[in-house]
Structure 1
Amino acid sequence: MKKTIYLLPLALCCFSFSYAQKKDKADKYAATITAGDLKKQLTIIASDEMEGRETGTEGQRKAAAYIESQFKKMGLAPVAGLNGYQQLYPLYQDSLSSEITVNNQPLVYGQDYISPAPNNETGNNTSASIIFAGYGIDDSTYSDYNSIDVKGKVVIFFLGEPKKEGKYIISGTNRSSRWTYPGLSIKLAMAKARGAVGAFVISQVQESFTQRAIDNSKKSTLYFPREGAGTPVNYALLSHTYAKTILPNTFDTLLKQVKSFQPIATSWLTENKLPVQLKYNRFRTTVNASNVAGVVEGTDKKDEYVFCTAHYDHLGKHDGKIYYGADDDGSGTCGVLEMAEAFAKAKKAGNGPRRTMVFMTVSGEEKGLWGSEYYSDHPFFDLNKTSADLNTDMVGRVDTERKSADSLNYVYVIGHDKLSSDLPVINEAANTRNGAITLDYKFDDPSDQERIYYRSDHYNFARKGVPVLFFYDGMLKADYHKPTDTVDKINFELYEKRVRMIFYTAWEIANRDDMLKRDIPLPEGSR
């Protein structure tokens, strides 16, 4: 009994000493993250030379090369098997030529129809008839296909979806469903699943085609080839004048119904015995974009991983104006660089993390989370061994709509009560150590109208089950996605506080005994 009494104070003393040492080490390296260094990095990332860093452009490649050079300079290791520090992923750009005849009469491109290059493939299809399929929807709550057989035929349908008593029938709310957005791709896939060989599409608002629409339809912008998307039926968008020749007796009435969101009655779903031939030739160019990753290898838990991510792309250069993206997301990118340098210094001094730290800046976020989606489908480290992703997207400015007294001492945190019950405990403790800024959970609800939970790269980790925290300043107004998102608008004092707090959070996750628990289901929803 006496032995225990004597040893307990000694054990507590050793624990306190160990904890104090651990705390002092974290403080030492957090202090290397300074407003001055953040500004130095951001002035380069958001410079004229980077041309707005649009994915797939020379500006994006320059930014990737710069980030890679910084990882090398800091002493981070590349990932084995990558192209240096870069994980390349393909983007496609398509051009298309087409010939369409209906009832043995050729249609005039740009006058009767256009066939946008995306979603159309090389092919030659024929049909003996065209069948009207309403909105082209086949859903459990509403279907245009229940009374028609479209196998081997060309379908013709309107964009959009119907309402009843002021609410969309499918969602049951004031918000449209997936049949409106992404809409067309789903409808084309449904037509194919039902056996159609082609589709004619009518936009209720686009009566004819401008020269710009005609030119743009012949060549796609760069796009990300999503796995499992499949190839839908080939389609053409018809002018109203030509659509009326296919539906001569009903078009005007149907157009009025669709413009007022009325359901299409079964009696209107008719078949027109007109032979159709669709000839398409697609030509594809591949352009590589990249994610840039550097590693600080762990010690006794080096086969477990903690990611710090941000997207380094922005909107590029258009109409002679550069979209600098200093806050979005130059701020997150430079935060990742500064945290990487702090961990690298700790490693060099013999105080490296127990888990392997992975600092990854991704591209394609502004286009649809392309780079992080590619990584989550082609990970170079086991996602089941990835303890967490700390994502930083816009942390340099102040939300202009925030009217509370703490407007210069806050950050929005998304993901804290999802996937892992460890997250809020760790993050809030790290924040207290950093001097306690307000952690605002305003945007953390997945059903929030801004849908922030789904709008940055952390989501592609979350959908694979990896616990995530997303740090964000809320700057959705002011200079958001404008050429005026520039370095001079950054609040560097607050920026420093936020990045240091994220560093402390990463430090704790990297050095604790256990990986984060995965004990909370992923909320239902999608981007």
Structure 2
Amino acid sequence: MKKLSILSFCLLISIKLLAQEIDLIDLSHNISLENIKKDVYELASEKMEGRETGEKGQKLAAEYIYKQFKNAGLLSYQKRTDSLSYFQEFSVFKEQVPQVSLSVNGNKLKPFDDFFLLGVKDLKKENIELVFLGLAPDSVYQNQDFSNRAVLFLTSNLFAGPSKAMDIMKETKTSIVFYCNPENPHQMPAIVNRQKRLYNRRQLLDPKLFPFKNPYDSLTHKKFYHNVERMISTYQGPISEKATAKILELKPKDLKKHLNGKLAKSQEKQDVKIDLEFRNIYKSKPTENVIASIPGTDLKDEYIVLSAHYDHIGKRGNKIFYGANDNASGTAALMEIARSIQNAVNQGLKLKRSILFVAFTGEEKGLLGSKYFVESNTFPHQKIKANLNIDMLGRMDELHDTTNFVYLLGANDLNPKLKLITDSLNQLYPKLELDYSYDTKDNFLYAASDQASFVKRNIPAIFYFNGLHNDYHKTSDTPEKMDFEAIKKVSSLILLTAIELANQE
């Protein structure tokens, strides 16, 4: 028998005393594999249609989760038992194709035919000087200040235009850039049609209440996203060769001469002014987080939050993205942990702090459910003592040859004691391989699930995760590929950790 560390021994004594006659190690052993399996198969079933946020399948999943919480005896987060009080309702806003107006020297261009523009914020500017850079070699715009002007350049490949546009914006401080390919008029319709499809997939919270900004602004991921604040105030897109020729008062064939340097600068029209208006259009859609609670005693107004997102990416035509691993697995673990702790409370377990069980929607759309929960101050930030977030359990990645492991992210960050507690409890049960190789603040995964919304507000969090695999975000992410015993073991560790955190002094 391995010797227990002093901290492990103290935790074991703590668990025994707080449980009174409840053996929590035994309770964690008895987490139901059958319940987890049943829940995964239900959430990843055909009738759930991939659980896309705001759609029919997501609503069915929310109803299912609520019933599991209520049937287990948990109260709503409002500490009631009426059905509506378990749902935290809010709206997501689906981006529509924006309304854009562009006039050049008083002549109005036709959006999506003559030009197309990408942007984030609404904008209205008049009488802006348009600077033509030709092929825009670096020497033409370096050390130039175009902060109050717009830019137009030529390229032999429109798909390379955005990268060049960003270079020009960075160097010259301009916020409006157009690019034209006079050699291939077929590229622009392809770009426009692709972008229109993308607009129909994007969702966000109410832009008036939650203005767009860098979602990682309080994480160390700044170094990856340091340009986001500047980017959201910029506008760039393709413009047709016919419109460009009209602007410069050239024949379309003469534009091609610029690509080989055969057109003199003096042949271009020099005084070009534009009026530009860009306005975002949104269509709102209701959705809901599902939240249940087990009230504490002495410190009942402090909270340990256990979470998992239950949404996935829905369906494309007749193809359903079942999302068994992502994240029916984590949601099933969340529900079974809730059942087990509530059962222990019914048998006499005392919890000092309250425990919240939150099934988030909108994670796949940009952590929208957790962002709403945290930023709407549903519970005061200072009252949330920790978040344990579960996402994608029961599979293994290419770095492991067994599912008897779990990645933990965040345990070393805002509260290093989380790692000590986790390591010590794991020695008692379930003795998993705890993999901290991703547990660095600059790892992109640290901001890739709902714990990021808590970390942003300096709330300590652990992200439990089994890694990526070839079925990620594919229709092949199905229940029969899951290792339910592995989900049970991680659930056992989370259960013990939640109770320990709820009862810490």
State the TM-score bracket (shorter-chain normalisation): 0.7 to 0.9
Q: Distance in 1 between matches of 2:35 and 2:449?
A: 25
Q: Which residues in structure 2 correspond to 1:119-158 (within 5 Å)?
A: 119=120, 121=122, 125-131=125-131, 147-151=144-148, 153-156=149-152
Match of 2:176 among 189, 195, 199: 199
Say yes or no: does 1:108 pair with 2:110: yes
User: Kindly tell me: are residues 254 and 26 of structure 1, through their superposed partners in 2, closer, same or farther at Cα, counting changes over 3 Å?
Assistant: farther
Deviations 1:132-181 (A, max 9, x none): 69999xxxxxx979633543x5444752269xxxxxxxxxxxxxxxx69x
Say yes or no: does 1:479 pair with 2:479: no
The residue type paired with residue 471 of structure 2 is D
Report the CA distance between 1:431 and its aligned residue.
1.1
Match of 2:461 among 462, 468, 473: 468
Report the CA distance between 1:494 and its aligned residue.
1.4
Q: Distance in 2 between matches of 1:252 and 1:454?
A: 46
Report the CA distance between 1:313 and its aligned residue.
0.8
Say yes or no: does 1:452 pair with 2:445: yes
| Deviates further, 42-51 or 212-221 | 212-221
Deviations 1:252-308 (A, max 9, x none): 799899xxxxxxxxx9xx995223233566654211222211110001111111011
Is there any run of 5+ residues in structure 2 with no aligned partner, and where? 1-9, 154-160, 214-231
Answer 1 or 2: which has greater helix percent. Answer: 2
Match of 2:188 among 208, 215, 221: 208
The residue type paired with residue 130 of structure 1 is L
Q: Distance in 2 between matches of 1:487 and 1:256?
A: 58
Aligned partner of 2:365 in structure 1 is 367
Aligned residue for 1:208, secondary structure, equals helix
Contact 1:159 1:201 in 2 (8 A): no
TM-score normalised per structure 2: 0.77
Q: Distance in 2 between matches of 1:49 and 1:88?
A: 22
The residue type paired with residue 56 of structure 1 is G
Aligned partner of 1:174 in structure 2 is none
Aligned partner of 2:413 in structure 1 is 418
Contact 2:312 2:321 in 1 (8 A): yes
Say yes or no: does 1:222 pair with 2:199: no
Report the CA distance between 1:47 and its aligned residue.
0.8
Q: Distance in 2 between matches of 1:65 and 1:444?
A: 34
Aligned residue for 2:163, secondary structure, equals coil
| Deviates further, 38-47 or 57-66 | 57-66
Q: Which residues in structure 2 correspond to 1:262-301 (within 5 Å)?
A: 272-278=270-276, 283-301=281-299
Report the CA distance between 1:62 and its aligned residue.
1.6
Match of 2:329 among 324, 328, 331: 331
Root-mean-square deviation (CA, aligned residues, Å) is 4.0
Deviations 1:22-62 (A, max 9, x none): 59431343244221110011111111111101112121122
Deviations 1:311-359 (A, max 9, x none): 1111101131110000111100111101111121122223142110000
Aligned residue for 1:52, secondary structure, equals coil
The residue type paired with residue 212 of structure 1 is N
Contact 1:114 1:217 in 2 (8 A): no
Q: Distance in 1 between matches of 2:480 and 2:15?
A: 44
User: Kindly tell me: are residues 482 and 275 of structure 1, through their superposed partners in 2, closer, same or farther at Cα, counting changes over 3 Å?
Assistant: same
Report the CA distance between 1:240 and its aligned residue.
5.5
Higher relative contact order (CA 8 A, sep 6+): 2
The residue type paired with residue 470 of structure 1 is F
Q: Which residues in structure 2 correspond to 1:245-256 (within 5 Å)?
A: none
Aligned residue for 2:434, secondary structure, equals strand
Contact 1:87 1:290 in 2 (8 A): yes
Q: Distance in 2 between matches of 1:228 and 1:393?
A: 27
Contact 1:135 1:161 in 2 (8 A): no
| Deviates further, 95-104 or 388-397 | 95-104
User: Kindly tell me: are residues 279 and 417 of structure 1, through their superposed partners in 2, closer, same or farther at Cα, counting changes over 3 Å?
Assistant: closer
TM-score normalised per structure 1: 0.74
Instruction: Tell me how many residue pairs correspond in the alignment.
Output: 449
